[in-house]
Structure 1
Amino acid sequence: MNVLKSLQFKLILGIFAVLLPLVAYHFYNNIYAIHVVREKVASSNNDLVNMFIQSKVDQVLEDTGKYLLTRAGSDPDLISLNLYAFQDGEYQIRKVRIINRFRDDVVLYNAIDTFFVYAKSSKDLTVNNGNYERFGDLAAWLDGNGSRIGSRWTILRNGDDYGLVTAVQASPDIWIGAWIDLKQLLAPFQQLNLGGGGEVTIVNAEGDPLTATSLTDEGLSYLRPRLDKLENGYLLLDQKEGPMLAVGTKSKLSDIRVIVLVPEQNLLQKLPFFLRAAWIIPIGAALVLSLYVLLLRRVLFTPLRDLIRGMRRIIQGDLSFRLAEDNTRELSFLASTYNNMADQIKQLRIGIYEQELLVKQAELKHLQVQINPHFYLNSLHIIYNLATLKLYKNVQKMSLYLADYFKFTIRTSRTHVTVGEEVKHIQNYLEIQKLRYPDMLDYEIDIPEPWSGAPIPALSVQPFVENAIVHGMNMEGDRFVVRIHAQGLPGESDRFVITVGDNGKGFPQEQLDKLASGRYLEEADGSHIGIWNVIHRLGLTFGDRARIDFSNDENQGAIVRLTLPFDPEAAEGGKHHV
């Protein structure tokens, strides 16, 4: 049934058509207010960041660069330091005086982590704070980039820290410079009121973080290609703790960018009314809609659902369902009309069902007759062989057995026989085969009460016995034994099992696979009509209450298990026919 065309859908759609514009208008106002807050906060933070970058970062970098140029051109010790060898005492004295001046001047540049002097020929690096080992990467950078060092500050990783470095050539072999730890540059930004969860971080031109940050890999991947947008706007990043507003700008004297991250929930704390309304209005609309739908369900939808359920049960063949009378006049008329219609269909169905039973009985008799010529031809072939060998006494026995077979065939004009009658017929068949193979065939039959009186379709077991002899007996092996016995099914009193086993070759694995998958029925041909007929007739007679399992014995031979329904009353009445 198409839901879009249902009455329930159309009524609810009408309610939504009234309520949704109101809710949408509210959400629009709320979203617009949030957007305005974001714009204002982003603009304010951008102004603050630009101010801090210009006054606290770029100003320090510019002043430090000017200071280094002044020292390189005016300090006589720096100018003449390259005139002395590294081992010369005068070299060490001049270097100490240079470092002492740096130590005096570093007080004026509190953002500077260290000043340094580097003699390139002797690879002698001296820093004013005395921690030489910390700046091992700095010497390598000076050796590799001395000819390309300009006025801009360069991002350099030194150990586990990132910093900015610049250098000025004081003489052909002597360089002086300064190193600034990036964490030192973040100190002024702590004055910003970012609220709980806010942070400031520094990234390079590619967006890779140079200081500690809580940004996830997904957040960095979203940020990197959009860095230029931060110059005059903002970005909204999805984080585990919630969305964060990102603003920032870049330094004019280096390739660093300062990014300020503010949790969006901190921005919206000043909008309590909009936050409450964002929940109250949708919840109120949902409650109104729920009450209205409950009312409609009680008055209209429930009776209609019962009517539809009754129609579906009629389609499924269940004609016993009736609708209860309703207080509403229109629905009461529908209920009475449905009940009258169900009664008429039931009467018509009974007549059709009786005709189907007659057709089914005719089909069962036709399938049953298909097996008789198969066994009959085999029996005539055995009589012919016995007569050829002049075994006239055996011919007489064979004739008696065959006569009993014909008696059984005549009696099987009815749809069912007892297990005992079927077993008697099988004994006649086995005795006939023993006359053909006197030293090679034997059988064992054990059908105790009450299973011998159970009714089954005629010739339900005999085809499997015949199949065992035809396909399982080995002419050169031991005596071939067919075993037939019946027993109750454990845990089920209304079913029992007839087992047909032998000590022959057993089923080929390919045939077992076909039988287990059901392909055997689809591929059955004239050579296997007996087994096909049994499976088909049991299905017509008992449905899924009957089943046939095929397997091989662990030691040797094939096993066929017929699981059949058992009616104690029917079995009790069938004893008189055994």
Structure 2
Amino acid sequence: MAVIGFLVARISGKKIKRIVYLVRSFQEGNFYKRIGFAGNDEFVYIANSFNQMATSIQDLIQNVYEQGIQKKQGELDVLQAQISPHFLYNTLSTIGSLANLGEVEKVTQMVQGLSKFYRLTLNEGHVYISLEKELEQVRMYLEIQRVKYADAFEVYYDIDPDILQVPIIKLILQPFVENIFKHAWFGETIAIRITGKRLGERIELKVIDNGIGMRADTLRNMRSSSFHSSSYGLRNVEERIKLRYGNDFGIHIGSYFGAGTTVQIILPVDNAEIREVMGE
């Protein structure tokens, strides 16, 4: 077992270093580099996902310069944000540490989760995704975090089954869940609740936590037009929602310091552009 653990750690360590090098190149704006692994393991899926995302970003950059389309710029921003998120570096570091300790099962679990997370993020280049798949991506993110945090957090889902197949723009839930880990956590545990229901011709999604919450002045700043990068991922998601659906839709945030935060996302059930894109 010691020999097997050493071999797994060595092989995994080399692949992780190559992935980290590629991610750093992307962070520096170099999307021309690619990575390839031999075999058919989860590292191959991760490498292929990164290669496809880099190609997608190059295509989006070309479209932005040639056509000047704000919607494409918004999608470019979210893909760049997901290629180098804070949790990715922590995840790769955790995988490396587990590999060195010979925790083969946990390494496999985290690599599989990371691979599936990025496959869902890529979504074959499509802007729209079913709510069911959006929730699946959130679950993959939380499963990755669960290896790190063990039983330090609980997640509850309350989703109306009738809206699971409603197409929505991708990556509107996960950024808020991620920011719970980055900004809301205090104490030893935290609870997260994700809800979804239909309100007439709209759907309402909520991401609720019982974390530290925000003071009134911080909440006022977030509700103003001068967003900051640390505003629970509000700016990017809010802009993309309004670009795709119009100003009648978007995000509302309620928070009490010491009691938690609720993010409400309002989206249309039906949209002419969605029907056109989905071929309906």
Give the TM-score category using the shorter length.
0.5 to 0.7
Flag the 1:558–1:357 CA change in 2: closer, same or farther, 3 A. same
Flag the 1:534–1:445 CA change in 2: closer, same or farther, 3 A. same
Aligned to 1:405: 117
Flag the 1:568–1:358 CA change in 2: closer, same or farther, 3 A. closer
1:358, CA displacement in angstroms? 7.3
1:382, CA displacement in angstroms? 3.4
Structure 2, gaps ≥5 residues long: 1-64, 276-280
1:508, CA displacement in angstroms? 3.0
Find the partner of 1:535 among 210, 214, 238: 238
Aligned to 1:480: 190
- Cα separation, 2, equivalents of 1:570 and 1:499: 24
Find the partner of 2:216 among 509, 522, 525: 509
Flag the 1:442–1:487 CA change in 2: closer, same or farther, 3 A. same
Q: Which amino acid aligns with 1:366?
A: L
Flag the 1:403–1:542 CA change in 2: closer, same or farther, 3 A. same
- Cα separation, 2, equivalents of 1:415 and 1:517: 27
1:157-306 map, 5 Å: none
Matched residues, percent identical?
A: 27
Aligned to 1:430: 142
Flag the 1:528–1:387 CA change in 2: closer, same or farther, 3 A. farther
Aligned to 2:45: none
Q: Which amino acid aligns with 1:402?
A: L
RMSD over aligned CA atoms reads 3.0
What TM-score, normalized by structure 1, do the two folds share? 0.33
Q: Which amino acid aligns with 1:552?
A: S
- Cα separation, 1, equivalents of 2:67 and 2:161: 31
Helix, strand or coil at the partner of 2:246: helix
What TM-score, normalized by structure 2, do the two folds share? 0.66
Helix, strand or coil at the partner of 2:201: strand
Q: Which amino acid aligns with 2:149?
A: Y
Helix, strand or coil at the partner of 1:500: strand
Aligned to 2:104: 392
- Cα separation, 2, equivalents of 1:381 and 1:539: 36
1:378, CA displacement in angstroms? 4.1
Aligned to 1:558: 261
Write the deviation string for residues 38-87 of structure 1: whole angstroms up to 9, x where unpaired: xxxxxxxxxxxxxxxxxxxxxxxxxxxxxxxxxxxxxxxxxxxxxxxxxx
Flag the 1:551–1:393 CA change in 2: closer, same or farther, 3 A. same
Flag the 1:571–1:533 CA change in 2: closer, same or farther, 3 A. closer
**Is the radius of gyration larger for structure 1 or structure 2?**
1
Structure 1, gaps ≥5 residues long: 1-354, 573-578
Query: Contact between 1:386 and 1:392, CA under 8 Å: does it hold in 2?
Result: yes
Flag the 1:389–1:528 CA change in 2: closer, same or farther, 3 A. farther
Find the partner of 1:452 among 155, 158, 164: 164
Flag the 1:468–1:387 CA change in 2: closer, same or farther, 3 A. same
1:528, CA displacement in angstroms? 5.3
Query: Contact between 2:255 and 2:261, CA under 8 Å: does it hold in 1?
Result: yes
Query: Contact between 1:419 and 1:454, CA under 8 Å: does it hold in 2?
Result: yes
1:43-192 map, 5 Å: none
Aligned to 1:414: 126
Helix, strand or coil at the partner of 1:445: strand
How many residues of Structure 1 are paired with residues of Structure 2 in the alignment? 210
Which runs of structure 1 show a deviation greater than 4 angstroms over 4 or more consecutive aligned residues? 355-358, 568-572
Query: Contact between 1:371 and 1:530, CA under 8 Å: does it hold in 2?
Result: no
- Cα separation, 1, equivalents of 2:231 and 2:97: 24
Query: Contact between 2:176 and 2:232, CA under 8 Å: does it hold in 1?
Result: no
Query: Contact between 1:364 and 1:415, CA under 8 Å: does it hold in 2?
Result: no
